[in-house]
């Protein structure tokens, strides 16, 4: 199946993505808070060329398997890692971009449409927030911890000139979880398509029966 039939603005199917983890185990180089607990985060430049192809059959949904490519490739790939922020800058080498599915991570995109900077950041808030006897209070604490973490991390990456502040858009768990009550929860896929030299970044939230909702993340953010 051509990537153009999977990665598109009108996509109405959930997209499961299977790809390699980040290979850089650099120590944490910036400190931000998660639930008021200081955490060291590794900011790692690891956007690279890859090959995306049809993955295992999943009833009603779409599946993509990504493998790293030393040169060439048909897409850019951005991995993820616990308490890490992987980033890179899209360019002209490929016409598609994809990153690992989100289950609590955040995506930042900023800069110009021709060469946007993109970040896949992880906050393992469950390691920090303690569970009491109230599930609703625990979930509220998780949301607050992640919001604090992702807000501070974005500021830190702008302050240290890793990413520009211009045009900054963020996709956080509360954004892609906005319609969980309607059955839209997993998988959460973020992908990009370059048309006429300009990149558009999308996010797709899957639901029961393989259905999905696709919205624009960058350059203009659309709510789910």
In a domain, 224, yes or no: no
**161 Rama class: left (phi>0) / alpha (psi -120 to 50) / beta:** left
Tokens 């059959």 — which residue?
57
Confidence of residue 1 (pLDDT cuts 50, 70, 90): low
CA atoms within 13 A on the CB side of 207: 16
Say whether pLDDT at 196 is over 80.
yes
What is the predicted pLDDT for the residue at 60? 81
Say if 223 falls within a structural domain.
no
Q: For the chain, what is the domain count?
A: 1
Beta strands in 19-125 (DSSP E): 30-34, 37-45, 48-54, 62-68, 75-78, 84-89, 96-99, 106-110, 117-121
* Contacts of residue 134, Cβ cutoff 8 Å, sequence gap at least 6: none
> Does 162 fall in a domain?
yes
Does any domain span residue 55?
yes
Residue 99 lies in a domain: yes
pTM for this entry = 0.95
| Over residues 109-121, mean pLDDT | 98
Which has the closest alpha carbon to 65: 45, 49, 81, 51? 51
Q: How far is CA 84 from CA 30, 41, 47, 137, in A?
A: 10, 5, 13, 26
Domain presence at residue 173: yes
Residue 36 lies in a domain: yes
Residue 133 has pLDDT above 90, yes or no: no
Confidence at residue 54, expressed as pLDDT on a 0 to 100 scale? 84
Comparing 56 with 124, the larger pLDDT belongs to 124
When pLDDT is averaged across residues 115-130 and rounded to a whole number, the result is 96
Query: What pairs with residue 108 in β-bridges?
Result: 119, 170
Query: In which band, very low, low, confident or very high, does the pLDDT at 16 lie, cut at 50, 70 and 90?
Result: very high
pLDDT at 25 over 80: no
Query: Is residue 85 a part of any domain in this protein?
Result: yes
**pLDDT, tens only, 65-76:** 999 887 889 999
Q: Tell me the average pLDDT across 126-155.
A: 93
Mean pLDDT computed over 193-197 = 97
pLDDT tier, 92 (very low <50, low <70, confident <90, very high otherwise): very high
Give the three-class secondary structure for 65: strand
> Is the model's pLDDT at 111 over the cut of 90?
yes
Q: Residue 153 is part of which domain span? A: 3-218
């Amino acid at each position: 199946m051509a990537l153009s039939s999977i990665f598109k603005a009108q996509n109405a199917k959930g997209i499961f993505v299977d790809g390699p983890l980040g290979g850089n185990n650099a120590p944490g180089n910036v400190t931000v808070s998660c639930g008021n607990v200081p955490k060291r985060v590794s900011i790692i430049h690891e956007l690279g060329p890859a090959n995306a192809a049809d993955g295992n059959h999943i009833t009603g949904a779409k599946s993509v398997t990504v493998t790293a490519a030393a040169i060439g490739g048909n897409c850019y790939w951005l991995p993820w890692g616990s308490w890490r922020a992987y980033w890179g800058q899209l360019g002209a080498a490929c016409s598609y971009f994809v990153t690992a599915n989100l289950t609590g991570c955040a995506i930042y995109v900023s800069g110009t449409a021709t060469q946007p900077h993109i970040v896949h950041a992880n906050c393992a808030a469950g390691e920090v927030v303690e569970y009491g006897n109230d599930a609703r209070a625990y979930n509220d604490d998780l949301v607050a911890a992640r919001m604090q973490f992702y807000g501070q991390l974005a500021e830190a990456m702008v302050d240290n000139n890793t990413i520009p502040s211009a045009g900054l858009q963020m996709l956080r768990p509360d954004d892609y979880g906005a319609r969980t009550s309607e059955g839209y929860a997993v998988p959460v896929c973020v992908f990009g398509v370059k048309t006429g030299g300009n990149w558009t970044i999308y996010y797709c939230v899957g639901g029961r029966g393989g259905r999905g909702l696709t919205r624009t993340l960058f350059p203009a953010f659309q709510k789910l």
